[in-house]
């Protein structure tokens, strides 16, 4: 007898290859499954009349149109209404077939702004401080605004977008949603690199999708990576751009906006989080994101913290090669970064890839290698390697793509492998002493560096995701990884429990 997982996988494969018929109600939005079945297309799909199947993009768009036409849109809940979450809300409000039905955020002002961005007026919103209140308000047709994700438990929701940026909260929100049979789009990559493999495993058990989001760098890299492998290319290195100056590594949240040149008006209007922006600037966020890519693809970092050379886009195929071929790498098939700041620590390089993503690729077939350069890709001088790149990522504006794929196709932008390939180590930003409290990614006391997962286990080091609100009980010198034994974890930490599962 076939196992449940095999049957589920088969059903998903078959379902994604049919363009205008849901084979069963498990793959429909629950709102549509409960609605008028006569509004679904018939068993003779329209692609036969058109002479071919639609592209995946067209397929998703068609299914969204069907949801809109049937009056049964995909129902989205947003947890965390900061800048990224509000961008998600704004774009969901522009997509026929998607509807933001609830927002959870302890800051009611932020939550209301996200609902407004999605198209709800103030008189269409209702505050709810408990599960019964949320259920009652939702049943009356209001957009629900709650302080906690748990308050949304009884609402009819198809997919939850987790965008708090807090790993413990993110893990709890995702796990609860998965166990309620809801798909999860994980924006909080800090949670994903700490326990994403465990969340993905639970999602498989429950028959739902757990996915990182399109639009953030890990999702954008995965789209390039999947395409490259599908057409038969070999990936030498996968990465994203950075802009990191020498002083940034020691930066503190109070200085983050000044380093970016952001004024008070922008900070207040977009409700920017200084600690999050400090994590961007001190390099921790890039380390976290490339750890996520490692765990999606199985590509490890070549060295702790990666090489992160100062480089332009055309130089990537030369630099990301084996040492014996004049490059930086001890092995191929790795994750890394490309810094847009010149080696002098001051000049911003022209033709950089600061906000983009890239792959250095090759092929064993000489004709393929020749054509990579012939058709315009930058190559190394030997023409053995070329770089594919995407010069932008649009953050929350691309999240609707992941939402739609998860609910309508049962597909993910990126899901972690069964076991982690890499981890982000918590590193002391300054000399720490007993009683100093670790403040997580972007904080004043701790930063993160990616390394192979086995190193963290072997050396018993503290993962960055557990370095939030816990005190060290011994001295740790600046620049040193923090030992796991230097902190006392709460037995209530869900992150620690999931890591031990």
Q: Is the pLDDT of residue 323 over 60?
A: yes
Rounded CA gap, 81 and 106, in Å? 9
What's the pLDDT score for residue 25? Answer: 41
What's the pLDDT tens digit per position in 448-498? 999 999 999 999 999 999 999 999 999 999 999 999 999 998 889 999 999
* Contact in structure between 411 and 385 (CB atoms under 8 Å): no
pLDDT band at 501 (very low <50, low <70, confident <90, very high): low
What's the pLDDT tens digit per position in 278-288? 999 999 999 99
Rounded CA gap, 451 and 460, in Å? 13
Q: What is the mean pLDDT of residues 321-348?
A: 98
What's the pLDDT tens digit per position in 285-298? 999 999 999 999 99
Compute, in degrees rounded to 10, the torsion defined by CA atoms 21, 24, 30, 31.
40
Of the two residues 25 and 493, the one the predictor is more confident about is 493
Taking the whole predicted model, whether its pTM rises above 0.85 is answered as yes
Rounded CA gap, 113 and 89, in Å? 9
pLDDT band at 34 (very low <50, low <70, confident <90, very high): very low
What's the pLDDT score for residue 30? Answer: 54
What's the pLDDT score for residue 11? Answer: 40
Rounded CA gap, 163 and 80, in Å? 5
Q: Is the pLDDT of residue 423 over 60?
A: yes
- Looking at the DSSP assignment, which residues form a beta bridge with residue 329? 322
Q: Report the b/e string of 222-239 with b at 16+ CB within 10 A.
A: bbbbeebeeeebbbbbbb
Least confident of 34-38, 164-168, 394-398: 34-38
pLDDT, the chain, mean: 91
Cα separations in angstroms, 181 against 71, 122, 176, 374: 22, 30, 9, 49
Q: Is the pLDDT of residue 49 over 50?
A: no
What's the pLDDT score for residue 410? Answer: 97
For residue 449, what is the enclosing H or E element? strand 446-452
pLDDT band at 15 (very low <50, low <70, confident <90, very high): very low
For the residues of 200-236, what is the DSSP string, one character each?
A: HHHHHHHT--EEEPTTSHHHHHHHHHHHHHHTTPEEE
Q: What is the mean pLDDT of residues 32-56?
A: 50
Q: Is the pLDDT of residue 8 over 60?
A: no
Q: Is the pLDDT of residue 38 over 80?
A: no
What's the pLDDT score for residue 2? Answer: 35
For the residues of 288-338, what is the DSSP string, one character each?
A: HHHHHHHHHH-PPBSSTT----B--GGGHHHHSSBGGGTSSBSSSSEEEEE
Domains belonging to the chain, first-starting first, are: 4-215+397-409 (3.40.50.720), 218-244+283-393 (no CATH), 422-500 (3.90.1210.10)
Rounded CA gap, 154 and 150, in Å? 9
Rounded CA gap, 272 and 275, in Å? 9
Q: Check residue 461 and report its DSSP letter.
A: B
Q: Is the pLDDT of residue 205 over 60?
A: yes
* Contact in structure between 451 and 301 (CB atoms under 8 Å): yes
Rounded CA gap, 327 and 343, in Å? 17
∠ Cα 153 181 89 (to 5°) = 65
What's the pLDDT tens digit per position in 70-105? 999 999 999 999 999 999 999 999 999 999 999 999
- Residue 499: CB atoms within 10 A of its CB come to 18
pLDDT band at 391 (very low <50, low <70, confident <90, very high): very high
What's the pLDDT tens digit per position in 107-155? 999 999 999 999 999 999 999 999 999 999 999 999 999 999 999 999 9
Rounded CA gap, 83 and 497, in Å? 30
What's the pLDDT score for residue 48? Answer: 47
* Contact in structure between 414 and 210 (CB atoms under 8 Å): no
What's the pLDDT score for residue 10? Answer: 34
Q: Strand, helix or coil at 55?
A: coil
**Contacts of residue 121, Cβ cutoff 8 Å, sequence gap at least 6:** none
Q: What is the mean pLDDT of residues 374-378?
A: 97
What's the pLDDT score for residue 322? Answer: 99
What's the pLDDT score for residue 56? Answer: 82
* Contact in structure between 240 and 222 (CB atoms under 8 Å): no
């Amino acid at each position: 007898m076939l196992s449940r997982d095999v049957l589920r996988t088969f059903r998903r494969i078959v379902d994604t290859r049919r363009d205008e018929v849901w084979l069963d109600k498990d793959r429909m939005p629950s709102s549509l499954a409960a609605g008028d079945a006569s509004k679904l297309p018939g068993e003779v799909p329209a692609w036969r009349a058109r002479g071919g199947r639609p592209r995946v993009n067209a397929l998703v768009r068609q299914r969204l149109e069907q949801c809109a036409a049937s009056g049964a849109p995909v129902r989205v809940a947003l947890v965390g209404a900061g800048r990224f979450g509000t961008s998600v809300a704004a774009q969901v409000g522009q997509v026929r077939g998607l509807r933001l039905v609830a927002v959870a955020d302890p800051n009611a002002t932020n939550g209301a702004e996200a609902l407004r961005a999605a198209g709800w007026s103030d008189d269409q919103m209702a505050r709810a401080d408990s599960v019964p209140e949320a259920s009652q308000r939702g049943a009356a047709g209001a957009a629900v605004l709650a302080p906690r994700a748990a308050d949304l438990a009884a609402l009819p929701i198809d997919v939850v977008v987790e965008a708090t940026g807090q790993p413990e909260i993110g893990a709890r929100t995702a796990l609860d949603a998965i166990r309620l049979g809801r798909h999860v789009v994980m924006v909080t990559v800090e949670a994903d690199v700490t326990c994403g493999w465990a969340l993905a495993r639970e999602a498989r058990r429950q028959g739902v999708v757990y996915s990182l989001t399109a639009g953030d760098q890990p999702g954008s890299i995965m789209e390039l990576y999947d395409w490259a492998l599908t057409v038969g290319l070999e990936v030498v290195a996968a990465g994203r751009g950075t802009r990191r100056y020498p002083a940034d590594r020691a930066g503190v949240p109070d200085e983050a906006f000044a380093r970016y040149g952001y004024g008070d008006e922008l900070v207040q209007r977009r409700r920017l989080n200084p600690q999050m922006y400090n994590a961007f600037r001190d390099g921790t966020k890039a380390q976290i994101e490339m750890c996520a890519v490692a765990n999606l693809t199985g590509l490890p970092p070549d060295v702790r913290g990666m090489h992160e050379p100062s480089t332009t886009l055309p130089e990537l195929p030369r630099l990301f090669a084996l040492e014996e071929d004049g490059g930086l790498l001890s092995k191929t098939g790795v994750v890394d970064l490309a810094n847009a700041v010149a080696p002098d620590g001051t000049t911003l390089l022209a033709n950089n890839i600061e906000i983009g993503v890239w792959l250095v690729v090759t092929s064993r077939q000489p004709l393929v290698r020749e054509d990579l350069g012939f058709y315009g890709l930058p190559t190394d001088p030997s023409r053995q390697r070329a770089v594919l790149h995407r010069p932008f990522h649009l953050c929350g504006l691309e999240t609707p793509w992941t939402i739609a794929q998860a609910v309508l196709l049962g597909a993910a932008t990126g899901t972690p492998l069964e076991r982690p390939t890499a981890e982000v180590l918590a590193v002391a930003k300054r000399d720490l002493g007993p009683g100093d409290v670790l403040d997580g990614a972007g904080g004043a006391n701790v930063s993160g560096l990616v390394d192979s997962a086995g190193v963290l286990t072997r050396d018993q080091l503290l993962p960055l995701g557990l370095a939030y609100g816990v005190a060290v009980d011994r001295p740790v010198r600046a620049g040193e990884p923090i030992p796991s034994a230097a902190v006392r974890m709460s037995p209530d930490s869900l992150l620690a429990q999931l890591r031990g599962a």
